[in-house]
Structure 1
Amino acid sequence: MSSEELLYILALQHIPNLGDTTAKKLIGHFGTAKNVLKQRKQNLLKIDGIGAYRLSGFFDVAHLKAAEEELKFIEKNNIKTLYFKDSDYPDKLKHCIDGPVLLFQRGNINLNNQKIISVVGTRKITQSGVAFCEKFIEELSPLNPIIVSGFAYGVDITAHKAAVANRLQNIGCLAHGLNQIYPKVHQKYVSSVEENGGFFTDFWSSDDFDRNNFLKRNRIIAGLSEATVVIESAEKGGSLVTADIANSYNREVFAVPGRPADKFSKGCNNLIKSQKAHLLNSAADLIYMLNWKPEEAIKPVQKQMFVELDAEENNILDFLQKEGKAQLDSIALNCNFPSYKAAGILINMELKGVVRPLPGKLFELI
């Protein structure tokens, strides 16, 4: 894509009252974003669904000026752009009427593998939720699926870390531009995700951070994948919105059941009860429903016995083997590391699938 073409696509994307669905309709009629922006008002009004509201501010030169600034950011940071008419645009997202006109990408994403699932759920994941998510992704690993999630707290980051630990490509869909990472504490996981996967967003670097962005982002999570899995959810939550979107796209939805009294099982139980999701007890359920060659996947996954650890990691491993679980400060003190260094080592061990964090800055061996 030429810089000029990208500039006009960005300018079209910047028009506030247009939206992706209408923008794609206009591009389909006039051929290119540049042709759309060069049209007279009367020509645009002839298109079904285009009225005065849609064209409010349409001819403002500010859109091209803003596009020029965003183009500088894209080129300076080597950000890949995926246009909805191009062959490298995610295939499943092409079939979503409200899919983004333009996606921005960081990392090493390869979507040739068609086994793509989204894993979502509460930001306040329980320990049983963590254990289920880790086991579920480990059981899927022989089929080498791509794991998609939102890189947020809770289920999202658990899914990303489990994918990294099992050497699976994973994609984080962000609710902001590629000039930042939210939450900031997850910055430490960025490089491991980008080594085998990366990040998608349709937000600009200049966009304000807003909670409503998360709801808009959810259509990308649902649209990229063949199926959406809800691990844990309260009665209301963003993951239920993602499940609804996935249903509207005629994609499969799965939910993990729980006890009726458990707060973070109510959303999943309601999805199953209302027949908006298949009941999911293990990876075998998803594999069967999606016809993912079950004979390959029902083989028990043997945990990797020989993980390569350096001397510092082995020091912590030996200590945790004696203690079972310990707080960060205790690990640092007994292993003769500053707390900040112990935290960094534990992150690496976590990504290798050796330890897991617990509430209260506790860590235990997996």
Structure 2
Amino acid sequence: MAEEQILFAVALTKLYGVGSQLTRLLVSYCGSPKAVFETPPGKLEKIPGVGTVLIRRIAEGKRSALLQAEEIVKRAEEEDVQLLFYTSPKYPDRLKQIADAPTLLYYRGNVNLNQRRIISIVGTRQITSYGQTVTERIIEDLKPYNVVVVSGLAYGVDVVAHRAALQAGLPTIGVMATGPESVYPAVHRKYAERMLSQGGLLTENSFGTKPDAPRFPARNRIIAGISDCTIVVEAALKSGTLITADIAHGYDKEVMAVPGNITSPVSEGTNYLIKSLKAVAYTSVQDLVELMNWDLQDEAETRFKAKASFDASEFNEEELKVLHVLQQSKEEHMDNLSWKSQVPVSALASVLLSLEFKGIVKAKPGKRFELLAS
């Protein structure tokens, strides 16, 4: 996103009473963050859900919001923080599917937030030796699958997962409840600094934000939303970890839980998730592989790479997104293709037409499209 647009994007997040859903609505109708501030009141009134109160807030709060945004953009440049508005191609596609996802993320790191496989590992702060052993084993077994490991950088299961990922050479992302310049708890700073070159640190909170209690449940929704599956290692029956599992379940994400000793308080939560069918039992990495169909995906990708090889330099970014999806499934309905590739339906038709002209995709009846062997 151009510097001017990111300035207005940040300013949008500083307008009083304009939440994430309303921000998306305004940008969708106006065309860009800058256009939201420049659209005449008469046109804003025609947007569903926009009334005179909101229009007045935009007009009265514009100057202050832009001043705050200038400070944030300047500091982000100084501290090497990426500002990812939800329209940015670097913004996590998995989060875009969630209604309450943040419109702006602050990110320090080097890993692709849209990497093919992302798994969250969460659990109690009062981790047992069993929990530590299991967490480390999960990470070790994930090495062949090139997985990004996400957690919350907290005591217990979180930091064990991050530490094990660093040792295993896997990228790992810490989702924080603070501003991007802070690490909480501070004792984990040494791991956080290593994660900047082998993963990253992600937050929705602006500079100077303290780790207040309400920010942790909000952080948990990002942990759940950014990943394909959330694995709960150990958790008490009433805990923030179970909240994360519930959020992931509500997002129609896969949830797994490690069975534990029935006499252990920190296994009550995981055993409950399995018993109530809110989670699939994790006993080995094969359980995860089968649940996520990774084995079938890898097999299909190997097969179609052999049949349909192409030079990536010959295609633009949106064409490559579509081809990546079709490499995994060979054939998709147009609606599914749009969702999986994160290419809007409005743009997808021309992308598919271009791929047809290039002789790599074939249109089939019922708005289905097939990847052809080259």
TM-score higher than 0.5: yes
Residues 34/231 of structure 1: CA separation in 2 closer, same or farther (3 Å cut): same
Name 1:115's counterpart in structure 2. Answer: 117
Name 1:27's counterpart in structure 2. Answer: 27
Equivalent pair of 2:15/2:65 in contact (CA under 8 Å): yes
1:192 aligns with 2:209: no
**Distance in 2 between residues matched to 1:148 and 1:106, nearest whole Å:** 14
1:251 aligns with 2:253: yes
Amino acid at match of 1:9: A
**Distance in 1 between residues matched to 2:110 and 2:76, nearest whole Å:** 16
**Distance in 2 between residues matched to 1:12 and 1:77, nearest whole Å:** 22
Note the alpha carbon deviations across 1:307-330, whole angstroms, 9 max, x for none: xxxxxxxxxxxxxxxxxxxxxxxx
Equivalent pair of 2:110/2:199 in contact (CA under 8 Å): yes
Name 1:173's counterpart in structure 2. Answer: 175
Equivalent position SS for 1:159? helix
TM-score (norm 2): 0.74
Count of aligned pairs: 296
Name 2:89's counterpart in structure 1. Answer: 87
**Distance in 1 between residues matched to 2:160 and 2:55, nearest whole Å:** 43
Name 1:130's counterpart in structure 2. Answer: 132
Amino acid at match of 1:197: G
Note the alpha carbon deviations across 1:251-288, whole angstroms, 9 max, x for none: 10011122333211121122222211111122221111
**Distance in 2 between residues matched to 1:223 and 1:156, nearest whole Å:** 17
**Distance in 1 between residues matched to 2:154 and 2:16, nearest whole Å:** 27
Alpha-carbon deviation of 1:23? 0.8
Residues 255/55 of structure 1: CA separation in 2 closer, same or farther (3 Å cut): farther
Equivalent pair of 2:184/2:211 in contact (CA under 8 Å): no
Structure 2 unmatched runs, 5+: 299-374
Residues 54/223 of structure 1: CA separation in 2 closer, same or farther (3 Å cut): farther
Alpha-carbon deviation of 1:45? 4.4
Alpha-carbon deviation of 1:70? 1.0
Name 2:305's counterpart in structure 1. Answer: none
**Distance in 2 between residues matched to 1:47 and 1:124, nearest whole Å:** 50
Equivalent position SS for 1:195? coil
Structure 1 unmatched runs, 5+: 297-366
1:97 aligns with 2:99: yes
Note the alpha carbon deviations across 1:180-224, whole angstroms, 9 max, x for none: 111000011122212211111111003343111111111211111
Equivalent pair of 2:10/2:69 in contact (CA under 8 Å): yes
Equivalent pair of 1:17/1:53 in contact (CA under 8 Å): no
Amino acid at match of 1:91: D
Q: RMSD of the alignment, in Å? A: 2.1
Equivalent pair of 2:232/2:270 in contact (CA under 8 Å): yes
Alpha-carbon deviation of 1:175? 0.9
**Distance in 2 between residues matched to 1:53 and 1:284, nearest whole Å:** 55
Equivalent pair of 1:18/1:55 in contact (CA under 8 Å): no
Q: Describe how 1:55-74 pairs up with structure 2 within 5 A.
A: 57-58=57-58, 59-60=60-61, 61-74=63-76
Residues 52/231 of structure 1: CA separation in 2 closer, same or farther (3 Å cut): farther
Equivalent pair of 1:287/1:294 in contact (CA under 8 Å): no
